[in-house]
Amino acid sequence: MCSLGAVYNWDGSSSLKSLYVLASAQQNRGNESTGFGLYSDGIKIVKEMGRPDEVFKRVLEIGVNGDRGTSQTRYSTRGRSDIRHSQPFFINEGIGLVINHNGTIANADELRKKHPELKCKTRSDTEIAGRIISSEGDVLDGLERLYEEAIGSYNLVIMDECGDIYSYRDERGFHPLWWSLENDSFLVMSEDMAANALLRKSREEFKPAELLKVGENGIESYEIGSQDLAECFFEVNYFQLPGSTHRGKENMERRMDIGRVLGEEEKIDGIVVPVLDSGKYYAEGFAEASGLEYIEALHRNRDYRVYMDAYERSGDKYKLSREEKAALKHITIPSKIKGKKVILLDDSIVRGSTSRVITKNLRKLGAEEVHWRIGSPPIRYGCIYGLDHSVRKKLVAAPFEKDIEEEVARIIGADSVRYISIDDLKKCLDCRGDHCYACLTGEYPTEVPEEMRSAIEI
């Protein structure tokens, strides 16, 4: 999962500040590496491991600038977490271009074998996409070819050697992509809330299969592929910022709606505790509907993330386990929970490592009972479209066909677990048969390539 950004200023003003803000405002989508591509009489790239503020210092030290450019923050789901796999990629064979990618090309290994002449230097799906596009000699023709050959999700921001910027949302629109035009300045961003950080009122969502080319002559619109929308429900439930919008409604409101549905059915008389940050709005809606007291009894240590854990792939022998990271991420405040029945609200239970540690720690510090209420149905299949749960055998709910709530409660040590139903989830997301629920149902909107079979096999 990654964030994308682009700026094109026709008035010749610097794009640097806006690119930095776009990268910084979208770190929820990943920040293990940051990259900037600038254009001023040619393409210049600065990318390093680290967060936007760290990498931007290097941009200023080097002195690169330009009236147009791209930004990307990365969380790796394919390819290693290292500088060689960080973005953007600069492809200098064929046409020269800079490419940034959000999503996962599920048949990337197959494409590398199919095209040995492209001489890929990494295992990155972004690199093979860029080389396919570049080899056609024209970005539009290259995107047509990529569409014909690639399986998966691929939102792209590309800048060519002439300084033109191409932004594309794949035909199924798995992940969000937005643009904004005000005065003489054009922006692209993964989430519309990023526009708020730049005090922008203008924003439009890319349609599936929509490509916008921005250059000296203005904006040109194209369609590559047929629109077949399958938006990822997990974007709304977890990944996106709470103030970003989905179908005209802020995500925080949709999460509160889900919490209300769960709260209306609650029979336990306890306190409502959010697993911050993602559980906050679920818990607020739950407390409102149930009439139970809302208490923030878990301190959220924002220096640690467990779901998006790059260090699992780093090879560092001193890396923390998921359980150790979970204990550091959510620190219990004993006075708030001692002797009480605790009802925890969270967006999901994926592997069960975080929920197991939180449950154990709450009991040790005095909670009488621990119950979990979850804003998504059981995740039982792997994702092949860009989320970090691609291996089915690692999912805590995957082995079970029935009594899933009881089995997961047993595994994580809770008194009970209750998930929202998929029908109620669809209502809360305003679903019209056009979301992707593959990780819940095992019904994928594309074929599952052989190299991704671990998503569906235990």
Active site residues: 2
The span from the CA of 179 to the CA of 102, in Å, is: 15
Peptide bond into 277 cis (omega under 30): yes
Tokens of 380: 């039982």
What is the CA 402 to chain-centroid distance, rounded?
30
Contact between 188 and 179 (Cβ < 8 Å):
yes
The span from the CA of 180 to the CA of 410, in Å, is: 48
The span from the CA of 28 to the CA of 445, in Å, is: 26
Tokens of 144: 């047509």
User: Residue 66: left (phi > 0), alpha (psi -120 to 50), or beta?
Assistant: left
The span from the CA of 210 to the CA of 206, in Å, is: 6
Classify residue 127 by burial, with Cβ atoms within 10 Å: 0-12, 13-18, 19+.
buried
The strand pairing partners of 101, in sequence order, are 156
Which residues have CB under 8 Å from 249's CB, separation 6+?
430
